[in-house]
Structures are given as structure tokens and as C-alpha cells.
Structure 1
């Protein structure tokens, strides 16, 4: 009770030393589990064993005397009780000493918030058999507020510095007294002083004098006091004014790793205002080291510059450790010498790895490989990495006529070169400053994969730039992002996309009136070659179907899809990505993250194609290396917001919108750049690739489109221990827009198409292993746009239609 009003705020409850047993919806589940356990289960076992003289003897005939004794430690005898005790929660007993400690803590909390006349009483009552409650009655009294705020600063240079930031003070006249604000103001002043040269200034050099001016309005006068610096001279302590220190010299020490680890300075280089020392031949170009140092000769001492230097050196990923120390210059009482000590990592490293994976397509996979790293390759802290990897996996979604468990495989290699700067012909330092920690990456990769049955070969070449304007903001520019995709097993198409084949097979018995030898097998089903011949007969008008017939459109759609998914792709694009994440450490559960991306493909390809003038494709489009190049513009927006609540509860939402518009040399988007819906990280009421487009009902094996909207909300809570639960709702769909698809069931046709947004709801379970979270989500189709309007709501909410999703870590 606070001022005769019940108060159950989390902040107040967190101050109590004793809290009731936890409960779920009012039921004390963990306490119940604990009470089910037997006390001294092993002793009860021996009591039972010795109750009859022949019981041990008879058991020993079946087992042995040793095994009879071991039964006392078995799961049946004591293991279950031990499990229940560990999982459960012991009863919370009322302790008068803890009640008194809670009262003292509550009093301190209210006094720290300006309630200096607070009184706190407690009462212990019985509320039933072996149950009790503790009531804390708090009379807060009036809250004191700040009135006049003055300063007493003994050091003149600090007084001048304070005057520059006085208007930004966190202490305002009329605000309630708050100890936390006083501490934050001390930290603010200290930070500014230390970034302005006050090398020896510490936060405890600031004190407050707060006194009651004895008026009925409960006003407080506050004095910010900053005394002079205390120094020892012999056996006495005297006070002297603080001084502002400047950097007189900066020394960089690098240590060449050797077996004996002997640090002997036998090489030094002077570069600009820096001196670089090495215990052997210097292995770095001087500029590579000085570019990471923000401590400059002639500048005032600054913690900010020191921290920037630490971050910049760590960003190189070249040094194992770094230490920055300041030494007072013996020749200048107001000067400092900055020494930066760098311990390099090994120049060469080799790392094999094995990993177990799960994705929307791959239910289970094993990945293995190795990587080789060569640091400081050009003596400017560059890093060269080459790697090779292989993967085998299993997928239930793919065609698998031989019922092989590992029906997915992939192998390939990558090479990546990283520069700790913007590598560009034009100087960009005026736009992207070095404190933004810019890097340039050039990477090349080749993979050969057997995943969706078409067995793809993929070559990539990327040049990108990364920098961080702020701690919570990052930017990435892909100057060139080239991807070449070649299908190695296009003849296997109908074995993969079984729904397309089954549809053709059914229609062929009606319309394929002139089949040739080998078009049907012995069972009367279309062969794969026969499926292609049937499509050709329909499209060329050799059947009774006309272009206006529904079946004709269906067959033509299958044909167009086959051509699209088996064609080779050449994508040469550029893109820019902006990311912002306000999360402050892994314990921060109130934050937001935003990502925006824009991509353009085909413009460079178009310029080159016009110059080389290769023959046009069968579709009349321009080609490069005999392949139609992709041309499109694409943009994406992704926003996630998390709110943290009391007792390990949180609420999170995610909004996503993406669109890719083909133009010029293309009338569709490559499969690798299109969108899909469903799966463990999307709409969990549907399996991956099974939702949409639009109201089509997901009739294809792999449904994709070029426009996507998605929204998810999830309430997360703790069951007990490391087991968490979640209630979620996922909404969204994909559509075709501005491409070659014309069927209104597939396309987005304005606001009326928003009725095609699917809704999946369900419950999830998560177990936190500290280094990762294992997740199981049970999803249900709450609103299914693939059905008739009258059958869309709540028709799939039953256990037999549960969509089971497994995942690692949270979906968003």
C-alpha cells in the first residue's frame, strides 16, 4: 500500500527481499512440481527394502546386492524427485529479518526520489492453512523539489568549461529531487572535462550540497561543488588547481611475435607526428598504423579520442590486444606522452569447422570446411581469406523418389580481401571520415549445389564498402554485386515441381490427342519429355484448346514458370543498405531496429551489351555471354520494435515491405531475387514457399512473387528457468505486380488485394541455452486467402492441421 493505494509496480516489487512463489495464470506450477517430489527418496527406498526380511534377498537373486543399492540412485527411486525439485520452486517462507531489510530498502528508494519524510510499516497476516502475506504500508509524504541551483568551482579553467555546458544541465529548477539525476549530471560534467584536457579529473571530484530552505513548498537549494585537486607532497596532502593537459608526443610500439617473445626495440620510424617502434623489422606501412590513431600531437587529452582509437584498432582484426597509456612529460608540466602498445595476431591462421544447420528449405544439414587467413598481406593491415566448404542435408519438401535421407548437397569456395579503408580512386575522407571505421571488401565465390533438384552452379563477385556514422548505425554500399547462376539439371524440373507435373499429367489425358513414342510410360503417365511435348502442342495450337480456355492458360502458366526457373541468370547490380539498431547490450529488451535497402540491376549490363552487340535471345532480349541479363529496381524496408516488461516478459513486432520491379531487358524477377512467404521466420501458419501469391492458394511447389507485405507480433514470457513461451500472430502475403503475370488471383490490384493478406497464429516454446535459443512454433491458418471468401476464417484451427516450425534463436 502506497498512500492507502495498492501498488504492484515492478520497480517497487523488485526492492523486496522476499517475493511469492511464481505462478502461471495464477497457478503456482513450479511450487506444485516441487511439492510432488519426495523428501529423502533414497531413505524411503531403504525403509521399504528392509520392511520385509526377504525383500533384499529376493531382489538380489534377480539383480545383485550392488545393483540393489544402486536402485536408490536410479531415476525411478530418486531421480524423479530430484528432477521435480530442480525444475520446481521451493516454498517461500516468511522471514521477519527479510521483511525488515525490505523496509530499509524501500525507505532508501523513496528518499532517493525526494520523499525525505517517508514512513514504512509492515504487517504479517495469515490467509489460510500454512499461508501468509506481508503488507507494506508506505506513507510517502510530500516530494521535495529543486529550487535554486548554484556552483562552487575552485579551479578557474574548469569553471570556464562548465559555463559552456551549463545550459545542458540535467538538474532543472522545479524538478523533483532524484539521486539518479544527480549522478548522471556528475557523469556528464566529468565526461566533458576529461574530453577537454582534464586528465586527472574524476567523477568523485564532484559533490553536492543539498539543503532544505524550510518553506511549505518543500523546496531544496542545490550547490554543485568542485574542489581543487588533492595531491601528496611528502607526508602531507595539499590542494592545487586542476590543469588541462595537451598531448606532446604519440609513440606506437609493435611487437613481432617470436618463440622467445623478447621485446627489444631495434627499429623506429617517424611518420608525421608519430614515432613507431618495433622489436624487429617493422612489418607495417606507417600510415596503416597512424590511420587508426585518433590521439594527435597538440590536442588536449580526451577519453573520446582514446576510445575511438581502441575501436579503430579492434576493427582492424589484426592485433590480438592493444594498450594505451599516458605518461606525464617530465619536460612539460602540462604535457602528456601517449604510448600505444600493439600485440599482433598470428600472420597466418587455419581453421577447420563443422556446423549443424536448419533453414526454410533444409530441415537438417551438416556443413564442414576450412578457412585460411593471411593478415597484413600488403603491410597495410589488409586481410586475405580463402575458404572451402561442403554441405549435405535433408529436406522433406523436395522430390526424393529413392527416399534418400541426405538429398541436398553443396560445395564451393570463397576468396575475400578486406581493406581497413575506402579503396577507391577518389579520396572520400571528407564524406566518410576515418572515425566511421570504413572498410572495403572484395569477394569472389563459386558454389555447386544440389538443393531444389535443378542443381545450380553459382558464381559471385562483390565489391562493397561498409562504415558506421554512429555507434547504432551502419551503412553498406555494394558497388558491384555480380551473380551468375547456371542450372546443371534442368531436365529434372518436373521431378521437383510435382504439382505442375501432376496438373499436366491430368490434362494430357484430355487434350494430348497426338502423342508420340515415349510421351507416356507403361502406367499411362506422362514422361518428362512427354510433358514438354504436350506443352509445345498446346502453345503452338495443335490441340483443341484455345488461348481463352482456362486449361490453356494453366498449361501456358506452367510452361512460362518452367522456362523462368530453368533459365540461367546473369545479375549485375548495385545496392545501398542503411541499418540502425538501438539495442544496448544483450540484456536490453526495449529497442528498435530498422533496415532499408535499394538495389538496381542491369544498367551496367545494358551498356556493355550494346557495345558487344551479341545476338538477341529467342524472346528478343539482349544477352551477355549468351544469357539474358536481369534488369530491375528493388527496395525493402524492415522495422522491428521490442518492448520489455516485468518478470521476463516482452512484446515484439516486425513490419516488412519489399518490391522488385522489372524493366528494360526483363519482364520478371530472377528466382533468387524474388520473395516467398511462410516458414519459421515468416508466416508460421504456412510452410516455406506455400503461401500465395495473392489468393491463388499456393498451388505451386515453390510459390514466389516480386511484391511482399508482412507483419508479425509476438508476446514472449517465461514459464520457468530457461523455458520460455510465446503467443504470436503473423500476417502477410506475396503478389505479382508490374511483371508478366496477369492472373488477378496472383497480382496486386490496389486496396482490394489487401483482403488477400493471410493471418497465421499460434503458440511457441523456446529454450535458452545461453549461446543460442532453440525454438518450436505451432502455427495455424487463422485466415486463409487461398479459399473461398466464406471459408477463409478459422477453418484450419485444429490440431490435425498444425504447422510445426523449428528454428534457432528468435524469429525477429
Structure 2
């Protein structure tokens, strides 16, 4: 009853606030508040969303596309801007947008011009103003009319060599008879031809040398289109001449030195060395091995100038962390009878070799607060090949609550990890040309981690070798060739041992997760992002991402062991160095889709599925490989590791988190994201998911996956979130409420109908978006 009263009071205060935030005081007399802008089109090919680009004045932002709360927050301030409270409301709010008729007319003209450029030469755009009190709604109506169509397409190209090139590439042209006379397409074709010719030696070519002549036929919507190639002129007064193909004469890398004027004289006084036909110039000593420079170089003396090779060289050099930046400049050789040659100068600026950083962070694991600190050392040029060496030390402390009967209620973790990253494929028999084409890194790493909990102590040691690579495009690949993990349990408390004994009746495989174990795994991960990994672009445009991962462990060891011994010597499992090794296969797939509604609102959908199967040498997955549900990136109505498997409820014991794991995981999420004010964004979300086991574990049958009931065991949550966007970092605060709880029956199964805030609410703090 008290909660309902508080909710009603809150709603009344919100209504009073909105009612008291009069916008009228900020609207000058005779002016209007721009209430809304609508675009309508009589042609399905002309979408309103396309025309939004030309709207020069939009109305105030709406939270979740419903209410203009930022404007009302601003309006809560008084007219006296000297008061700090008024300044505060104005800073976090948004000033009312006052309608500007001249800007609206410019929008109409720009929109009309844009539609005409799409081939609808007779198109018109009407603008209707609909006032209501001191508010104004503006409607733009697009009347496209009949499109103009290219009936005849001809080419006027006197340069026979370029004509032959274009004929060779005719299958890629954007122009064809019967196409709509779209000015945008014509310009795209100019850009495409320019890029095509610049990749074939035409260093001085630009799109202004390509022009169009369009002849419209009287009283028809048919166009005769001629593409014309203009001859080359350095200046307007020069005589026309054929376009020339340029060849690279010299390719020179200049390390740690820069000069404004490109000349032979500028290189005097520098030491030099030649490698692979490329000259390296430096002072004192080069900070990169000559072979490294030539392996990342795509420009070679004697080759035709190619703009793609220039960009590939930039991209390759960008992978070298030792470089602060690179700059490629060309000098045209001006010699009698030899004017079609250029010298390439590539200037490399050195980054700081070494860096030391410190990090302090707060932690919150299922409500237990703690702190962690780490120190990292980076060397970006360990062997003068831009190899990145990293050494990181980390320590953490957490106050564990709810563990009765333990003298020590602290969680302490410390660890050290080190890695060396090579900016290429470190593998024998690979040619330099292959390494140059594929953007790859190789990494070797070792880690040691010690966890001291009240219930047990765990030590993890690992060593790994992996490759990561990508080609042109938006896909990346990761291949873990070998990843060896050793889990050592030096101490298990008597109380935890008793707990494992009791759980043998419910989950007899649980004990295997707390025994010494070797994990020798291989894995492959494929990631595709339609935005090309650009987080800003992904957030502001329709985009999607796919992630697929598969890994296996123990198969080679198991096969070798079976060759040597038909049966295990000790127990039920084969061993490596007298320690059991894990054998399993695991597969995950994630999909996320971002639908942009406007520049302030978007809808994001995410689906994730994971399946892992232990077999052969293992009866259960290693604890680190088990799935869990709940938490900031899953079903946010539950705390991490408190949901599932299936309808398993648990005994409420703090240690029971070890049972809330499974071999199968399903996550379904939908989130509406909106801009609030200043650096704050909001979100409303609905989550669904759970984890399940593949086979029955003791008496815990409610956690086993069954096709005829798994959908009934899906947990559902809803909630709101705040994101604090610091440009380089996003801090996220989410509050989730349980809607459907498969762990209960009866009315408690549907807390959305009768919520209990203490029981059904979960708060999460995280860094970055959940998906």
C-alpha cells in the first residue's frame, strides 16, 4: 500500500513539474515553437528517411520518441540566467526550437533540388505551415512527377588508351540505357572511373576531366547522355595533351626526419641503407629493421603509380604500434623527355617506445563490493620490428557477504600476465607477398592467477599462441592454435567440501569443477561488423554484427592416450602429468542488429546461443567453460549467476552460485536507446533467456533441456538504464525487474503482475554497451 502511495505521489509530482514548465515564456511574441516536421512523398522510391538529411531545422528531441522532456527541463528554468539553478536546468535541458520560416524555405528548396537530382526533373515540394496557438507544425509534400530516363548513351573519349581501359572495365559501369537520369549516379561513376584510372598509373587524373552532356527530347522525358573525357591541361593556358601514366622511379623511406621540400639535397647528411629495392634514410641508427619496412611496403620502383597501393601502404604501416604516424608524398620528376615518373617519399615518425600505466577500479559481484588495481608496462618495439611486449600486474580485494561459519570472509585475487604481439603471421614458409596482403598479428602469452576465497583457493596458469587477421572489408578472424590452461586447487575448506558432498545427490558432476585439471584447447572465432568496427558509425546507422566461435579441447590428447593405453590407468579418465585433462567441444553464435529511427533514437535487437558438450575424458565442462545467465549483459532482472538452469531454484545459499550454470545458453534482448541530455543517454529494455544442462545431473532434473518445455522456462525481465557517454568510455547503469520467473509457480511465476521490489529488482553497473 505504501509503495502504491509513493508511486502515485511521484507521478503527481512529475505531472506538476511538466505543467509548471511553461515553454511559452521562451517563445517571443509573434513567433512559434517548432512542434513537428513531417515529410510525405507520392513516390515509393523517394523515402522520407532519405529527405531527412535536407531538413535544416528539426523540432526538440523526444525521449523514446514520445515526450520532449529535455525541452521541459530547460523550461523549468526562470528567465534570470544569473541564478545557478536556472543555468543548471538550461545546461542539462534543450532550448525550445523557435520556428524560422526562412530556414524552412531553404529546406524546401534543398529537398526539391535533391529530388530533381534523382531524375525527377519536374519534381516540386510543397510546404504547409499549420499553426496551433504558439506552436507550428510543418509539412513537406513531395510531388515527384514522371522520371527522366536515359534513352541513348554515348561516349566521347579521344584518348585511345583510356578508352581501352574503360572498355575492359565496362561490366562495372553504373551507366546503362534505360536508367533513371540520376545526377548522384553520374557523379558516382565519375568517382569510380577516377579511382580506376588512378590505380593504373594516372597520377594526375581527377574527376573534373570527366563531363556529361545531356540532351532532352522535346515534350518527352527521354535523355540523350554523352560522357566526355577532357584532355590534360596543367593550367588553363596550357595546350591540351594526352593523359600520362606515371611510373615510380625511387621509393624512399625517411625514418624520424621530415622536411618540407622534396629533393635529393634534403637527403644529404642522412645515413642510408637499401633493402628490397627501397632506400631507407635515417640519422644515427634506424629504429626499425630494414626487412620490416620492405615487408609492409606496397610501392616498388618500376611499377605504375597505383592509389590503392598507396592506401595499402598506409594501412600496413598503421599496424606498427611503434609509429606515431606515417606520411606519403610524391615528387614529380621534371626531366626533359622523362616527365611521367615520380619519386615516393614515406616519412615515418616514431612513437614512444615504452609506457607505464596504472588502473584503479571498483567491483560489484552479486552485491559484494570490492576494489582492484593494476599496473601495466608496454614496450612497442622489443626487437625493432614493432613487436609489442606487455606486462601486467593485477590485485583485487572483495568483501564477501552472506558466508556464515567462515572466519575469513574476504576474496583476494592477484595475478600477472605477459604477452608479445607480432604485427604479422609468425609462421614458416609464408611468402612476404602473402604477409603483406593479409593484415595479421600473432600473439604469444602467459598468465598466472591466484584466487583466495573463503571456500577455496584456486590457481590458474596458462600459455597460448594465437593468430588474428583480416582482409579488406569488415570481417576479422582469430585462430587459437594452442591454449594450455592448468587449474590447481591447493585448498578447499571443510564447509565447502561438506557442501559438495551434499550436492552429490543433486549435481554429482559439480565436484569435478573443483579438482585439478588440464585444459588443452584450440579455437576459431569469426566476427563481422557491417560498420567496419567503427563504434560511432554503428551507433548512428543501420548496422549489424555477427560473432561465431567454436573451440575444442583434449581430442588430440585423448586420441594419443588411446593409442598408448586402451583404458585409463587410474580412475575413469586419461591423465596428463597425473592430472585429468578436459575433453569437450563448444560453439557460440551472437547476432545484433541496430535499427536507427532518427539521430537520437534507435532500436537494437540481440540474440545469442551457446552449446557445449563434454564427452570422452570428461563428464562435465570445466567450471570456467560453463555458461551462466543473469547480470549486466544477459537477463538483467537477475544478478549474475543466479538464474537457471531451467527452473532450478536453488537453496538460497550464497555458495549455490556454482549450481546456476549450464551447457546451453540462450539470450534474447531488445533495447530502445534514446538521447537524454548533455552526455546522458537512456534505454528501455526487455530481456529473455536461461541456461540448461544437456544431461541429468543427480536429482536436478528441472535444469535439463527439453524441446517440449524449454520455452516455458525462459526468464523474462524489463527495465530502464542510463548511459554516461564520455566519448572514450561509456558507463552504464541498468535497473531490471523480473517479469516471468521460471523458478517459481503460481502467481509468483509472474512478478510483472504482482512485483516485489526487494525480490524482483536487480541493479547493474558496467562499462560499454551490453551488445
- Is the CA contact (8 Å cut-off) linking 1:614 and 1:622 kept in structure 2? no
- Is the CA contact (8 Å cut-off) linking 2:504 and 2:698 kept in structure 1? no
**1:482 Cα deviation (Å)?**
0.8
Greater Cα radius of gyration, structure 1 or 2? 1
Task: Give the secondary-structure state (helix, strand or coil) at the position aligned to 2:621.
Answer: coil
- Is the CA contact (8 Å cut-off) linking 2:509 and 2:697 kept in structure 1? no
| 1:605-626 deviation digits (Å, cap 9, x = unpaired) | 4467679989968743222233
Which of 683, 693, 716 pairs up with 1:726? Answer: 683
| 1:616-673 deviation digits (Å, cap 9, x = unpaired) | 6874322223321111111111222212122422122222222221122211100011
Name stretches of at least 5 consecutive residues in structure 1 with no aligned partner: 43-77, 495-527, 536-551
- Is the CA contact (8 Å cut-off) linking 1:361 and 1:395 kept in structure 2? no
Which of 564, 579, 602 pairs up with 1:650? Answer: 602
Instruction: Tell me which residue corresponds to 1:587.
Output: 537
Counterpart CA distance in 1 for 2:595 and 2:309 is 34
How many correspondences in the alignment?
711
Q: Does 1:691 align with 2:643?
A: yes
**Cα distance change of structure 1 residues 85 and 339 upon mapping to structure 2, 3 Å threshold:** closer
**Cα distance change of structure 1 residues 8 and 269 upon mapping to structure 2, 3 Å threshold:** closer
Query: For residues 532-547 of structure 1, what are the structure 2 equivalents within 5 Å?
Result: 535=501
| 1:560-614 deviation digits (Å, cap 9, x = unpaired) | 52x2242122111111111111114313331111111111111344467679989
**Cα distance change of structure 1 residues 360 and 301 upon mapping to structure 2, 3 Å threshold:** farther
Instruction: Tell me which residue corresponds to 1:56.
Output: none
**1:113 Cα deviation (Å)?**
2.1
Which of 562, 572, 576 pairs up with 1:624? Answer: 576
Instruction: Tell me which residue corresponds to 1:240.
Output: 241
- Is the CA contact (8 Å cut-off) linking 2:71 and 2:96 kept in structure 1? yes
**1:486 Cα deviation (Å)?**
1.8
- Is the CA contact (8 Å cut-off) linking 1:150 and 1:224 kept in structure 2? yes
Instruction: Tell me which residue corresponds to 2:346.
Output: 340
- Is the CA contact (8 Å cut-off) linking 2:406 and 2:454 kept in structure 1? no
Moved more, 159-168 or 483-492: 483-492
- Is the CA contact (8 Å cut-off) linking 1:250 and 1:274 kept in structure 2? yes
**Cα distance change of structure 1 residues 701 and 795 upon mapping to structure 2, 3 Å threshold:** farther
**Cα distance change of structure 1 residues 598 and 560 upon mapping to structure 2, 3 Å threshold:** closer
Q: Does 1:161 align with 2:168?
A: no
- Is the CA contact (8 Å cut-off) linking 1:741 and 1:747 kept in structure 2? no
Moved more, 273-282 or 162-171: 273-282
Instruction: Tell me which residue corresponds to 2:419.
Output: 416
Q: Does 1:231 align with 2:234?
A: yes
**1:254 Cα deviation (Å)?**
2.3
Query: For residues 318-333 of structure 1, what are the structure 2 equivalents within 5 Å?
Result: 318-330=322-334, 332-333=338-339
Q: Does 1:9 align with 2:51?
A: no
TM-score (norm 1): 0.80
Alpha-carbon RMSD:
3.4
Query: For residues 707-718 of structure 1, what are the structure 2 equivalents within 5 Å?
Result: 707-718=664-675
**Cα distance change of structure 1 residues 246 and 420 upon mapping to structure 2, 3 Å threshold:** same
Counterpart CA distance in 2 for 1:648 and 1:691 is 34
**Cα distance change of structure 1 residues 336 and 13 upon mapping to structure 2, 3 Å threshold:** closer
Moved more, 146-155 or 19-28: 19-28
Counterpart CA distance in 2 for 1:748 and 1:610 is 31
- Is the CA contact (8 Å cut-off) linking 2:439 and 2:469 kept in structure 1? yes
Moved more, 22-31 or 283-292: 22-31
Instruction: Tell me which residue corresponds to 1:142.
Output: 146
Counterpart CA distance in 2 for 1:315 and 1:461 is 24
Counterpart CA distance in 2 for 1:392 and 1:172 is 69
Q: Does 1:701 align with 2:705?
A: no
Query: For residues 89-100 of structure 1, what are the structure 2 equivalents within 5 Å?
Result: 89-100=94-105
- Is the CA contact (8 Å cut-off) linking 1:125 and 1:134 kept in structure 2? yes
Counterpart CA distance in 1 for 2:40 and 2:477 is 49
| 1:129-164 deviation digits (Å, cap 9, x = unpaired) | x33444555544333233322222233222221112
- Is the CA contact (8 Å cut-off) linking 1:493 and 1:566 kept in structure 2? no
**Cα distance change of structure 1 residues 626 and 231 upon mapping to structure 2, 3 Å threshold:** same
**Cα distance change of structure 1 residues 805 and 283 upon mapping to structure 2, 3 Å threshold:** closer
Moved more, 172-181 or 572-581: 172-181
- Is the CA contact (8 Å cut-off) linking 1:417 and 1:443 kept in structure 2? yes
Instruction: Tell me which residue corresponds to 2:7.
Output: none
Counterpart CA distance in 2 for 1:478 and 1:352 is 28
**Cα distance change of structure 1 residues 603 and 143 upon mapping to structure 2, 3 Å threshold:** same
- Is the CA contact (8 Å cut-off) linking 1:422 and 1:428 kept in structure 2? no
Higher relative contact order by CA 8 Å / sep ≥ 6: 1 or 2? 2
**1:27 Cα deviation (Å)?**
4.3
